Amino acid sequence: MGRILVTGGAGFIGSHVADALLKSGHEVHVVDDLSGGTTDNLSDGVVFHQFDIRSDQAAELFERYEYDTMMHLAAQMDVRKSVADPSFDADINIRGTLNLLEAGRKSGLKKVVFSSTGGAIYGEPDYTPQDENHTLQPLSPYGITKLATEKYLEYYRHQYGLNYVALRYGNVYGPRQNPHGEAGVVAIFSLRMLAGEPVFINGDGLQTRDYVFVGDVVTANLAALGYDASGIFNVGTGIETDVVQLFRIIRENTAASVDEVHADGQPGEQRRSVLSADLAARELGWEPEISIKNGLRKTVDWFVEQRAHEAG
């Protein structure tokens, strides 16, 4: 089994990926600056390095440990923050990535599995579900930096023979999710309802996303790890869920007595997003297995356990 570096491995998705790799017998190293992640997410057996991916120390890890593969999940992932501060977004998502890629290709790195974005990279759909041939029209600096990273990965493949798989995620949700970023609506709704606090739906609540459970995202990463070629694949369910539906399912699971209250909509918010994962099914042998109802139930159950643990 190989030695693998998981960037952002103390975060929501990255920690689940690190756990799965560890269980598969890999030597797993995590680099994370803990700006969004927490060491509580790290399992015993993971080698942890607390560095910013833009730092010289993060780059030096490649020379020291000669990783076979990098699972690259570290990112500035808040769409609204990217709009407010595009330079900060690009500094982390592009310069940070290039720092690691340069170090990696000099030390024999063989493969990168990159966490890209489906919703933010395609923009408003010309057709649904959006497949990998859909026009790329990102509407935020975050989407632009993810697209730019895909192009850099293709450059490194062409120039240095560094294989890569870019996984364009739908809106990922599940245990360990924090209430930040666009997809954080599941965590926000769950935590507020469990605490008996009011919940607000932006606009009419009919804006849709392709919500994909974190466990399915993990299996997509493992499938990408075993893929012999390079490529770009959507990771989604092909099913649209609007925010009102999401609200009602979570309310049912929490048994909360909260009204459906609508607030002002977010300016510039994308209206629809839904991804076709047919290519991933054909090439990676991957398909989502967890329905939105089952996934939300698992997520709410986790938040209930966390609240009980925190209460002592």
Is 1 a residue whose pLDDT tops 70? no
Q: Looking at the chain, list the stretches that DSSP marks H as alpha helix, in order from N- to C-terminal side.
A: 12-23, 56-65, 79-84, 86-90, 97-106, 119-122, 141-160, 185-194, 214-225, 243-254, 278-283, 292-310
Is 122 a residue whose pLDDT tops 70? yes
Q: What is the pLDDT of residue 215?
A: 98
Is 28 a residue whose pLDDT tops 60? yes
Contact 123, 79 (CB under 8 A): no
The string of pLDDT tens digits covering residues 61-99 is: 999 999 999 999 999 988 888 989 999 999 999 999 999
The string of pLDDT tens digits covering residues 29-68 is: 999 999 999 999 999 999 999 999 999 999 999 999 999 9
Percent of the chain residues past pLDDT 90, beyond the cut: 89
- Catalytically annotated residue among 142, 156, 164, 173: 142
Q: What is the pLDDT of residue 282?
A: 98
Q: 3-class SS at 299?
A: helix
Enumerate domains of the chain plus CATH numbers. 3-173+211-236 (3.40.50.720), 182-208+240-280+290-310 (3.90.25.10)
CA dihedral (41, 44, 45, 50) in degrees, to 10, reads 50
Q: What is the pLDDT of residue 312?
A: 74
Q: What is the pLDDT of residue 139?
A: 87
- Cross-strand pairs, 130: 275
Which DSSP state fits 96? I
Does 227 participate in catalysis according to the annotation?
Answer: no
The string of pLDDT tens digits covering residues 167-189 is: 999 999 999 998 765 558 999 99
Q: What is the pLDDT of residue 183?
A: 58
Q: What is the pTM of this model?
A: 0.96
Buried b (16+ CB within 10 A) or exposed e, 72-106: bbbbbbbbebbeeeeeebbebbbebbbbbbebbbe
Is 117 a residue whose pLDDT tops 80? yes
